């Protein structure tokens, strides 16, 4: 019995020593040493380490290292890859992969833009009943054409706009034939048989579907890449207001937009920018992609916001820090202004994901004008320490002063601007 108690006591003491050792400062500092460091040419990053006495590099033209008693500073000299060896004396304890990316810059946006999307085919947004001599029915619903489906062809003929359907239905309906309707549903192409019926009120053949071929709204430009002419905006996907599903873009355009008034936000009630298209005869650029990270395409001409008109470096997700930052946005007319915000939290992301940051508006002027983050502000670029770090995306419904942000590297990737390249194993390396 005594031996059993003694063994338990010894075990408890050993467990306590192991736990205390695990929480000791040297061990914690060792565990904080990353497995990988990614930075741009001319950038540097600090690694705290009191237990290492030396670090060596194989390619001094790629990275250099400065070391003092409790910190190692890694400097990106030129693009490439190297391995940083951490040692205690001559004993190696850890290897860190270091990747230095070529210098990369974008011009931040902040301008209010008008967005017009034309869908791929015609989007089904609802059903309606047709009054016939046999009663009420919806031919589209009977044919199993669902809300959110995209009609791309009828009887093999391409459908691009709503008027295309009207013309075909009128012709085929008079002949009394069924329509072979090709739809796209969740990226799958399906064929449905639909028989138009005659509305007894006006003797017109109808299919019992509400449809839409375009959508329009306002948002904020995030960045423009002068070398490729590509841009990104909004920071989130555009969904149809009726189906709540992402709009599949056939093509679209962005235009200059002017903010006419602000519907101030409050807790439980997100506010909104009210704006109008400034000049529909002069489009700023095209829209080729609508993704969870925003809308993307190419600009016709270089754009400037009047504040940060020169290309600026970007920060990768692991380089973003909690603390002060600014957003660029418009609250009146077309003037872009900078407002103070706080990066409350930021997640170092290795793979594309939305909601990488939480930000809080701290600027008294912006809080007075808008109450915080409002609809239409999505896409406003976030600037920290002279770098573009991301864009505003969503407001918190129960706290209009706070919301989410997306990291800029994922928007660049969605725009088709690669700051990385991948090896055969799918791992990112310096380009």
DSSP 143-175: TT--TT-EEEEETTEE--SHHHHHHHHHHHHHH
Average pLDDT for consecutive 10-residue bins of the chain (431 residues)? Answer: 65 58 46 74 73 66 76 81 75 79 91 87 87 84 90 88 83 76 88 88 86 84 94 89 76 90 82 82 88 94 84 92 96 94 92 91 95 93 96 91 95 88 44 40
Mark whether 227 and 196 lie in a shared domain. Answer: no
Sign for the CA dihedral angle at 370, 332, 390, 283 comes to positive
**236 flagged as catalytic:** yes
**144 flagged as catalytic:** no
Q: Which of 263, 244, 298 is nearest to 400 (CA)?
A: 263
Residue with tokens 């449905």: 192
Given the residues 138, 317, 363, 400, the one annotated as active site: 363
End-to-end CA distance of the chain: 67
Instruction: Residue 299: give its domain's CATH number.
Output: 2.40.10.120
Q: Is residue 227 a part of any domain in this protein?
A: yes
Taking the C-alpha atoms of residue 373 and residue 380, their distance in angstroms, rounded to an integer, is 10
Q: Is residue 20 a part of any domain in this protein?
A: yes
pTM score of the predicted model: 0.78
pLDDT given for residue 13 in this prediction: 62
Q: Is residue 30 a part of any domain in this protein?
A: yes
pLDDT given for residue 163 in this prediction: 83
Given the residues 378, 380, 400, 407, the one annotated as active site: 378
- 8 A C-beta contact, residue 248 and residue 213: no
Please give the residue range of the domain that contains residue 84: 2-105
Given the residues 43, 49, 112, 236, the one annotated as active site: 236
pLDDT given for residue 173 in this prediction: 67
pLDDT given for residue 25 in this prediction: 44
pLDDT given for residue 331 in this prediction: 94
Residue with tokens 């639909």: 194
pLDDT given for residue 248 in this prediction: 78
Number of structural domains in the chain: 3
Taking the C-alpha atoms of residue 318 and residue 346, their distance in angstroms, rounded to an integer, is 8
Mark whether 178 and 319 lie in a shared domain. Answer: no
Taking the C-alpha atoms of residue 300 and residue 232, their distance in angstroms, rounded to an integer, is 14
Rg of the chain over all Cα atoms, to the nearest angstrom: 29
Mark whether 174 and 91 lie in a shared domain. Answer: no
- 8 A C-beta contact, residue 50 and residue 88: no
């Amino acid at each position: 019995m005594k031996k059993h108690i003694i063994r338990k006591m010894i075990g408890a003491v050993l467990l306590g020593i192991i736990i205390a050792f695990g929480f000791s400062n040297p061990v914690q500092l060792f565990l904080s040493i990353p497995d990988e460091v990614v930075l741009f040419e001319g950038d540097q990053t600090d690694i705290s380490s009191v237990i290492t006495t030396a670090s060596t590099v194989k390619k001094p033209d790629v990275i250099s290292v400065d070391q003092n008693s409790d910190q190692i500073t890694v400097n990106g000299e030129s693009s490439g890859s190297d391995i940083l060896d951490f040692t205690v004396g001559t004993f190696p304890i850890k290897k860190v992969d270091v990747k230095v990316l070529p210098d990369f810059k974008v011009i931040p946006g902040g301008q209010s833009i008008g967005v017009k999307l034309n869908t791929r085919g015609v989007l089904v947004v609802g059903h309606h009943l047709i009054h016939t001599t046999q009663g009420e029915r919806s031919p589209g619903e009977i044919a199993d054409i669902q809300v959110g489906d995209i009609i791309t062809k009828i009887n093999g003929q391409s459908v691009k706009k709503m008027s295309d359907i009207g013309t075909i239905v009128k012709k085929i309906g008079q002949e009394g034939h069924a329509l072979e309707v090709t739809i796209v549903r969740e990226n799958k192409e399906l064929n449905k048989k639909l028989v138009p019926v005659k509305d007894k009120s006006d003797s017109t053949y109808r299919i019992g579907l509400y449809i839409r071929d375009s959508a329009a709204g306002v948002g904020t430009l995030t960045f423009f890449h002068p070398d490729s002419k590509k841009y990104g905006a909004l920071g989130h996907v555009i969904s149809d207001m009726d189906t709540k599903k992402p709009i599949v873009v056939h093509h679209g355009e962005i235009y200059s937009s002017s903010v006419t008034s602000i519907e101030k936000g409050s807790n439980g009630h997100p506010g909104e920018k009210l704006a109008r298209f400034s000049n529909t005869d002069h489009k700023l650029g095209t829209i080729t992609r609508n993704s969870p990270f925003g809308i993307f395409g190419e600009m016709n001409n270089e754009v400037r916001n009047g504040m940060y008109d020169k290309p600026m470096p970007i920060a990768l997700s692991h380089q973003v820090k909690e603390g002060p930052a600014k957003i660029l946005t418009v609250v009146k007319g077309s003037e872009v202004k900078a407002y103070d915000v706080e990066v409350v939290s930021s997640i170092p992301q290795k793979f594309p994901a939305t909601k990488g940051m939480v930000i809080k508006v701290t600027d008294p002027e912006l809080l007075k004008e808008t109450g915080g983050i409002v609809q239409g502000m999505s896409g406003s670029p976030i600037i920290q320490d002279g770098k573009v770090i991301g864009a505003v995306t969503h407001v918190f419904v129960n706290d209009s002063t706070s919301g989410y942000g997306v990291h800029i590297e994922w928007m660049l990737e969605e725009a088709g601007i690669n700051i990385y390249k991948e090896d055969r194993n799918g791992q990112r390396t310096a380009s």
